[in-house]
Amino acid sequence: MAETWVRMVTAQTPTNIAVIKYWGKRDETLILPVNDSISVTLDPAHLCTTTTVAVSPSFVQDRMWLNGKEISLSGGRYQNCLREIRARACDVEDKERGINISKKDWEKLHVHIASYNNFPTAAGLASSAAGFACLVFALAKLMNAKEDNSKLSAIARQGSGSACRSLFGGFVKWNMGKFEDGSDSLAVEVVDEKHWDDLVIIIAVVSSRQKETSSTTGMRETVETSLLLQHRAKEIVPKRIIQMEEAIKNRDFASFAHLTCADSNQFHAVCLDTCPPIFYMNDTSHRIISCAEKWNRSEGTPQVAYTFDAGPNAVLIARNRQAAARLLQKLLFYFPPNSDTDLNSYVLGDKSILKDAGIEDLKDVEAFPPPSEIKDAPRYKGDVSYFICTRPGRGPVLLSDESQALLSPETGLPK
């Protein structure tokens, strides 16, 4: 084979947010969880990772660039994913370009990886989930691995636990599995993204001065010290998983919202029961919960569910567009931006929700009467950095348009 070719694959993978939470590993190396979890996949139009993987006989080592900056691949999590995919690589033949890679060649060939998040990495929006899912998915395609997405999810899981749930769209369940080797700890689709397509998701990215405990460290400390975690994992979550699947299949928003909120709160409760205690939510998170709870109560039936991961950001799931528009009105009223921020950079993602809410300008928000369910509530200017409006979305896809590749087809280096 010629020594100059570069073969590339570009994929796009969504992020996901758990509605029944994953917290606690029973095996730290294989990343095997103490309970099943269920997530909703977020629309990649607003939150996703794009990854280009390339192979060339001219590459002298595996290399990776994240958001344009080269990072080390020496970490065990990257190495696990690379090793597992290489072990499943198959023959690749590209007659047109005269490329022939045999199964055993993959052991010697090096890869270049470039990955880009279309949202701030540091914002605590599960970038590692989308990232490892995309890495594994793209490498599998590059190396012609024949495994289906569930099988690939068990590999992505070894990069970052929640990454396994980003291999599907819609609602996804991560079965904790029973086997010691982790081969049955993988993700399956509950329903695809078309099943419940009136849901609207609004993410409040909350300003925080606090440095948070990493989820890896946090989980370990919870497993080691919380006296409530095992009870949650063994007695509570298994029942909730069944109820949640039922609620999703029936598009039963009341049950879905109840379970989602209760499970988010219980996850944060076991964090608090950890020694030393872990606080991911702050006063702003609490105020967003209070806003959602009061509105739901005043309506008599839930309009919005909330869930928080290992950080202060709120993920709010509205029952439909109308509820989302009303929710956005309330959120903008309570959490107006700092005066130097305009609406366009304060509400990101699907801006059509703003239109539904009758908001063309921040002045429109000022004109609303205060939401009736909370009288005399103060307003918290600047406590939210920005909002992202999105919805449930699809799973990983290959991008065939070469202009979207992050590596140069000539050099295999970042464009």
User: Could you tell me the two tokens for 281?
Assistant: 């939510």
Please report whether residue 279 would count as binding a copy of itself according to CB under 8 A. Answer: yes
- What CA–CA distance (Å, rounded) separates 82 from 106? 11
CB of 281 to a copy of itself, least distance (A): 8
- What CA–CA distance (Å, rounded) separates 236 from 217? 23
CB of 129 to a copy of itself, least distance (A): 24
- Return the residue of 268, 319, 330, 391 that touches a copy of itself, per CB under 8 A: 268
Please report whether residue 21 would count as binding a copy of itself according to CB under 8 A. Answer: no
- Return the residue of 283, 342, 360, 366 that touches a copy of itself, per CB under 8 A: 283
Please report whether residue 373 would count as binding a copy of itself according to CB under 8 A. Answer: no
Secondary element (H or E) of residue 398: strand 397-398
CB of 147 to a copy of itself, least distance (A): 38
- What CA–CA distance (Å, rounded) separates 394 from 230? 33
**With respect to a copy of itself, which residue has the nearer C-beta, 369 or 378?**
378
- What CA–CA distance (Å, rounded) separates 349 from 330? 18
- Return the residue of 104, 209, 363, 375 that touches a copy of itself, per CB under 8 A: 209
Please report whether residue 231 would count as binding a copy of itself according to CB under 8 A. Answer: yes
Q: Please choose, from the candidates 329, 211, 330, the residue with its C-alpha nearest in 3D space to the C-alpha of residue 278.
A: 211
Binding piece for a copy of itself, criterion CB under 8 A, among 12-20, 151-159, 259-267, 390-398: 259-267
Binding piece for a copy of itself, criterion CB under 8 A, among 35-43, 138-146, 273-281, 336-344: 273-281
One-letter amino acid at 384 equals V
369-373's contacts with Cβ under 8 Å and 24+ in sequence apart are: 370/333, 371/291, 371/295, 371/329, 371/330, 371/333, 371/334, 372/298, 373/294, 373/295, 373/297, 373/298
CB of 370 to a copy of itself, least distance (A): 16
CB 390 within 8 A of CB 42: yes
Binding site for a copy of itself (CB under 8 A): 209, 227-228, 231-232, 235-236, 258, 261-262, 265-266, 268-270, 272-277, 279, 282-283, 286, 289, 293, 297, 378
